[in-house]
Amino acid sequence: MTSEIVSVIGGKETSSGVTYESVDPAHLDEVVARVRLADPGTFSSACRTAAAAQREWARVPAPVRGRVIASIGRLVEANAVELARLVTREIGKPYAEALGEVREIVDTCDFFLGEGRRLYGQTVPSEMPDKNLFTFRVPVGVAAVITAGNFPVAVPSWYLVPALLCGNAVVWKPAEYAAASAHALYRLFEAAGLPDGVLNLVLADGATTFEGLEAALAEGTVHKVGFTGSTEVGRAVGELCGRHLQSPCLELGGKNPMVVMPDADLDLAVEGALFAGFGTAGQRCTSLGTVIVHESVHDEFLSRYARAVAGAAIGDPSGDVLCGPLLERRFADRYEEYLGWILPHHTVVSGPVGRITADSPRGDFTGEGGLYYHPVVVDGVRPDDRLFLEETFGPVVGVTSFTTLEEALHLANLPGYGLSCSIYTTDPASVFRFREGIGAGMVSVNNSTSGAEAHLPFGGNGRSGNGSRQSGVWVLDQFTRWQSMNWDHSGRLQKAQMDVAEI
Ligand code: UN1
């Protein structure tokens, strides 16, 4: 029987609103969960509930909050296989990747459980005698966290874990099409002993969430917004927050380049481009967009890459495959728009283009009624192409060539995203020139554009975000604000700037 899942606010299930069906993208006739979608009032009332619960939670000592984070990590680890299977079933992510995603939550908990004992402030020297200056990190209050479904459990944990550790309450709105995975993760957080109302799960569609968020910002019950999703929606979230004098944490799209230098190990570059381009069916924000390959090795790279792509395993994500189906119907529809662009404008070097069906199978794989697409490599993408400039969020990689590293950098920066990038070379000077010249927040050397680790700063610039960073100690600045204190024990009024000793 298919379960029905509902929002949980203040520890109580709330079941109003219309029903949405979360469908297995590998078997479109299978419903994974029926999801009750909340109305805008539910979102803003969840924020009020969170605001009330946050005051008590902030008084729990940070090392004790760290122990709760430790329990979350243990529970996730103990339930890893079950959670990864659910992720695979609900969004079609190959099982090995889904298990890696769950591992990323455990890594995040491992990092932040200790941060509860290290939420340091500072002592700062004063200009005046008998006066002491201090800084403290204080929680922001309520964090509204809105997440995408391509990483339905790991990326949310990058917000939830540090936000909770820092003493905030959270209202989390996951993608509807990944609601069952989100709900399962929510239950593990709850089981770790969070007080009611400290973490609230609101299942809603985008428009409803936006309306509820607007109301909550106006009421003053949301103090930080964390959003992972498209550049377009991120821009709207940023504008809304700006009107309320808030700066959100925005983790948006990418058009991540890989530069292959003439001295690169080509087999390694092909392996990297295969995983970066087609792992998660090209639907990571860190997925490879364009390979920018030196003209002297362009033809050799291309033929090896085309061969590797033709041999890549595609199929049921519960098996050992590189590429499963796309996440959900609406992503497939949007991706088909790009496919319409490819055939008339480009040289396809990897075989058929489009949906894998019984009429256009891949080997003997017929697509089995899922959202499967042929992986596509397109040569000769140009700076004025849509395919060169825009994130496609699907299994297509463009290839172009260059002569000098300066030209490669120009091409790599041109789309105006700035999330991840990669260079394949054996020359340290090229590595450092590339790092200095690239506009991306994350640089890989001889490695895939995707696969960031959970304790390095994660985030982008330009169309990829507003410069905010997640993960590691850097994210603490998103979920705490600095408070300063001066304490004068001289027994008289010492006036700053005015009572300072003559130099
Ligand atoms: C995303 O697609 O939103 O670096 C995040 C990676 C993963 C996270 C991707 N660890 O590819």
Binning pLDDT at 50, 70 and 90, where does residue 147 land?
A: very high
Give the C-alpha separation, 448 to 286, whole Å. Answer: 9
Other CB atoms within 10 A of residue 242 CB: 12
Contacts by 209-214, CB closer than 8 A, 24 or more apart: 209/40, 209/43, 209/146, 209/173, 210/236, 210/237, 210/240, 211/40, 211/43, 212/38, 212/39, 212/40, 212/41, 212/42, 212/43, 212/44, 212/47, 213/43, 213/144, 213/146, 213/237, 213/240, 214/240
What pLDDT sits at residue 17?
A: 83
Binning pLDDT at 50, 70 and 90, where does residue 478 land?
A: very high
Q: What is the pLDDT of residues 156-193, one digit of tens each?
A: 999 999 999 999 999 999 999 999 999 999 999 999 99
Residue 474, class by beta-carbon neighbours within 10 Å (0-12 exposed, 13-18 middle, 19+ buried)?
middle
**CA nearest ligand 1 atom 3, residue:** 285
Which secondary-structure segment (H or E) carries 314?
Answer: none
**CA nearest ligand 1 atom 7, residue:** 451
- Mutation probe of ligand 1 site: the residue of 107, 256, 285 with most atoms within 8 A of C-beta: 285
Residue 68 pLDDT > 70: yes
Binning pLDDT at 50, 70 and 90, where does residue 40 land?
A: confident
Question: 179 C-alpha to center of ligand 1: Å?
Answer: 19
What pLDDT sits at residue 499?
A: 78
Question: 299 C-alpha to center of ligand 1: Å?
Answer: 30
251 as an active site residue: the answer is yes
Residue 203 pLDDT > 60: yes
Question: 177 C-alpha to center of ligand 1: Å?
Answer: 18
Residue 1 pLDDT > 60: no
Whether residue 249 contacts residue 224, with contact meaning beta carbons closer than 8 Å, is answered with yes
Whether residue 201 contacts residue 8, with contact meaning beta carbons closer than 8 Å, is answered with yes
Q: Taking residues 19-32, what's their average pLDDT? A: 97
Half-sphere exposure (Cβ direction) of 416: Cα atoms closer than 13 Å: 8
What pLDDT sits at residue 405?
A: 98
User: Which atom of ligand 1 has the smallest separation from the CA of 150?
Assistant: 2
User: Which atom of ligand 1 has the smallest separation from the CA of 228?
Assistant: 3
User: Which atom of ligand 1 has the smallest separation from the CA of 251?
Assistant: 3
What pLDDT sits at residue 463?
A: 98
Give the C-alpha separation, 33 to 300, whole Å. Answer: 47
Kindly name the residue from 101, 115, 251, 328 that is annotated as catalytic: 251
Query: How does the average pLDDT of the chain come out, rounded?
Result: 96
User: Which atom of ligand 1 has the smallest separation from the CA of 442?
Assistant: 4
Residue 393 pLDDT > 60: yes
User: Which atom of ligand 1 has the smallest separation from the CA of 450?
Assistant: 11
Question: 155 C-alpha to center of ligand 1: Å?
Answer: 7
Q: What is the pLDDT of residues 261-273, one digit of tens each?
A: 999 999 999 999 9
Give the C-alpha separation, 200 to 164, whole Å. Answer: 12
Residue 324 pLDDT > 80: yes
Residue 15 pLDDT > 80: no
Q: Taking residues 32-40, what's their average pLDDT? A: 94
Binding-site residues, ligand 1, Cβ < 6 A: 150-151, 155, 228, 284-286, 450-452
- Mutation probe of ligand 1 site: the residue of 103, 155, 159, 392 with most atoms within 8 A of C-beta: 155
**CA nearest ligand 1 atom 6, residue:** 451
Residue 121 pLDDT > 90: yes
Give the C-alpha separation, 467 to 459, whole Å. Answer: 7
What pLDDT sits at residue 455?
A: 93
Find, among 321, 332, 312, the residue nearest to 372 by Cα.
332
Contacts by 338-344, CB closer than 8 A, 24 or more apart: 338/386, 338/387, 338/390, 338/392, 338/394, 338/396, 339/373, 339/376, 339/396, 341/386, 341/387, 342/376, 342/378, 342/387, 342/396
What pLDDT sits at residue 59?
A: 98
Whether residue 252 contacts residue 465, with contact meaning beta carbons closer than 8 Å, is answered with yes
Quick check: pTM over 0.95? Answer: yes
Report how far apart, in Å, the C-alpha atoms of 70 and of each of 55, 66, 99 are. Answer: 22, 6, 19
Q: What is the pLDDT of residues 327-364, one digit of tens each?
A: 999 999 999 998 988 878 888 998 889 999 999 999 88
Give the C-alpha separation, 467 to 99, whole Å. Answer: 29
Question: 158 C-alpha to center of ligand 1: Å?
Answer: 11
Q: What is the ipTM of this complex?
A: 0.96
Other CB atoms within 10 A of residue 85 CB: 15
Question: 174 C-alpha to center of ligand 1: Å?
Answer: 16
User: Which atom of ligand 1 has the smallest separation from the CA of 148?
Assistant: 3
CA dihedral 451→457→460→466, nearest 10 degrees, is 150
Question: 159 C-alpha to center of ligand 1: Å?
Answer: 13
* Sequence-ordered list of residues with C-beta below 8 angstroms from that of 154, at least 6 positions apart, any chain: 101, 102, 104, 105, 108, 454
What pLDDT sits at residue 2?
A: 66
Q: What is the pLDDT of residues 433-468, one digit of tens each?
A: 999 999 999 999 999 999 999 899 999 999 999 999
Q: In angstroms, what is the C-alpha Rg of the chain?
A: 24
Question: 401 C-alpha to center of ligand 1: Å?
Answer: 27
Share of the chain above pLDDT 70, in %: 99
SS3 at position 325:
coil
Q: Taking residues 474-490, what's their average pLDDT? A: 98
What pLDDT sits at residue 503?
A: 63
